[in-house]
Every structure is written in C-alpha cells, then in structure tokens.
Amino acid sequence: MDKDYVCEDWGTESEWTQIKVTVPLEQRDATADVMSMISNYLQIEDYSDIDLKTCYGDLIDEKILNADKTIASISVYLPAQNGVADTLVFLKERFSSLAIDAKIEISGVNEEDWANSWKAYYKPIEIGERIVIVPAWEKYSGSADKILVRMDPGMAFGTGSHETTRLVITLLEKYIKGSDQRVLDVGCGSGILAICAAKLGAGECKAYDIDPVAVKVARENIKDSGLEEKVTCDRSDLPFHQIPVLRLFRIFLAFSDTLLH
C-alpha cells in the first residue's frame, strides 16, 4: 500500500478535543500551515467562495448563506486523553510570531455522538427495481420480492442515500447477470456496493479501502449479511503496478462512484 495514502488508525479512541482557530480570511492559509504541524487532518470552514449561481444554490443552508465571509476557521481533533496544554502554548507562540490574529476555542467531542445522532433520519431506501437498503436497526414490511440489504454504515461512507451510490446500484442491477462475474470495489466505504453486487448474484466480490474504520465497518456488514464466502474486504489502495489485475474482474467499482463495464 502507498504509505502516502494510508489513513491513521486511532483504534477505539472515542473522546476527542476540538481546537478551533478563527482568523481573518487573508490569514487562512498561514493558519492552516501552523495547524498542520499538529495534525494533517484539518477541518477548514471558509464560506467566502460560495457560488449561488450553481444549480445547487437553492439547496445551501441558510446558516451558511448568512455566515461571516470575512473570516475562516480551521479545526483539528486530538485524542482527549493526551491533553492539549502544550499544543495551545505552541499555537499561541506561532500565531504571535506570525502576527496572526487568532481566536482559539476548545471543545470536547464524543465520537458516539457523530456515529449515532444521524440514525433517526436513516430510513429504508428503495433503489432500482429490486434493491432496498434497510438500516440494521429498522424493520421493513414492504414487498417480499425485494432484495434486502441491511446496513450499519457507522462512521463509513455508504448509506445508499447518495445519488452516485444509487446510480451505481441501479447499474449493478442491469449488468450483473450471474455467478461467473467477479466484482472489484475500490474505495468501498461501508461495503454497500460489494454487498449489493453479491446479493444480485455476482460470484465473487473483493472490496478495498484505505480507511481502517471503513474496512472494519464493511467487514461487519458483510458478516451480518451472511456473505463472507462471496465478499472479502481488506485495507489497500490500488497501486499502478496492480492495474493488470483488473482484467480478472468483470465489473470494477472505482472509489464507489464510477462503474466501468
């Protein structure tokens, strides 16, 4: 695996401290440079370049539309047990030396809140002619001839609600013809596409992701679906030297949003 594309594995860490730094917009990049000395995983809030002329202009949240566009905020999330006192001293010294007008805020974040708060809004989703994505904690009382795919995406991408996911599942319904077909899903997220492919009749599905959280979630969904003999999931990217291997697969799902047939 390419070490430059490996996501860090924080194991079972669930309590985090958010350090949020708000600065004038023109100091955004300099601030991000300093924050990247603490962590490479930055959250940047900058609403100055929102384009209301796009086709999605009417869908932009009102809070974002009314946000102060003269400032930007950069956040990092650090394991709460490590403490942030030394980090704050470092940041204040760097900001002072660079004459950065920074407002620093500290808050605690519980990962369980991220992982569970959205569940109230995740309901069964019918896709195409046969597939129904059903949250693991929900009941489904619809048509008996539907193919049920039970999912618990946790912190991984892949609930079935995103347009690209729905499009690919619809195409899988069209192109999967039998058990002689092999499917490769690179950037599998929750494993939703590989699981759908197996449920539709593909003989073998191999799923990969560089995010250890995604791999863990996908493996759990594969196991809960009873598909461990047909679907495997591992942590990997797709280096160029492996491209010839793609010829062994009939259907290739790239980064979970493109179907090559």
135 with 106, same domain: the answer is no
CATH number at 68 reads 3.30.70.120
Domain presence at residue 221: yes
- The answer to whether 202 and 176 are in contact (CB under 8 A) is yes
Computed over every residue of the chain, the mean pLDDT equals 82
Last-in-domain residue among 87, 115, 143: 115
**Confidence grade of residue 165 (pLDDT, cut at 50, 70, 90):** confident
156 with 207, same domain: the answer is yes
| pTM (2 d.p.) | 0.58
Which one is predicted more confidently, 31 or 139?
A: 31
Closest by CA to 176, choosing from 195, 202, 196, 199, is 202
165 with 37, same domain: the answer is no
84 with 198, same domain: the answer is no
Domain presence at residue 185: yes
Domain presence at residue 64: yes
Closest by CA to 31, choosing from 92, 111, 108, 109, is 92
CATH number at 233 reads 3.40.50.150
Closest by CA to 222, choosing from 181, 214, 53, is 214
70 with 128, same domain: the answer is no
212 with 230, same domain: the answer is yes
Least confident of 59-63, 139-143, 182-186: 59-63
104 with 210, same domain: the answer is no
Last-in-domain residue among 74, 93, 115: 115
The mean per-residue pLDDT over the stretch 148-162 comes to: 81
Range among 35-44, 52-61, 76-85, 247-256 with highest mean pLDDT value: 35-44
Q: Which domain covers residue 38, as residue numbers?
A: 13-115
* CA separation for the pair 35, 91 (Å, rounded): 8
Q: Is the pLDDT of residue 225 over 60?
A: yes
Predicted pLDDT of residue 261: 39
Residue 230's contacts (CB-CB under 8 Å, 6 or more residues apart) are 198, 202, 203, 204, 205
Last-in-domain residue among 88, 115, 142: 115
Helix%, strand%, coil% for the chain, nearest 5: 35, 25, 40
- Residues of the chain above pLDDT 70, percent: 76
Q: Is the pLDDT of residue 259 over 60?
A: no
The tally of domains found in the chain comes to: 2
CA angle 211, 82, 1 (to 5 degrees): 20
Q: Is the pLDDT of residue 30 over 90?
A: yes
Predicted pLDDT of residue 178: 87
Predicted pLDDT of residue 245: 54
149 with 219, same domain: the answer is yes
